[in-house]
Amino acid sequence: MRHYPLFIDISRRKCVVVGGGSVAERKVGRLLACGARVEVVDRCLTPALAAMKGEGII
């Protein structure tokens, strides 16, 4: 797998994650840790993502 390093300040920026599975859950956690405002787009979310959505975190 090739990686493209990208170092940007995403604090207070809106980031959209497409998908609601375990990979999305990891990405959401990392984005939130960087201060991003996260929106997840999927019909089915993991229990952890559903809880975050219910609490208004995402």
Q: Give residue 2's pLDDT.
A: 81
Q: Give residue 32's pLDDT.
A: 98
4-54 confidence digits (pLDDT tens): 888 999 999 999 999 999 999 999 999 999 999 999 999 999 999 999 999
SS3 for 5-52 is CCCCCCCCCEEEEECCCHHHHHHHHHHHHCCCEEEEECCCCCHHHHHH
Dist CA 50 CA 52 (whole Å)? 5
Q: Where are the domains of the chain?
A: 14-54
Dist CA 54 CA 21 (whole Å)? 16
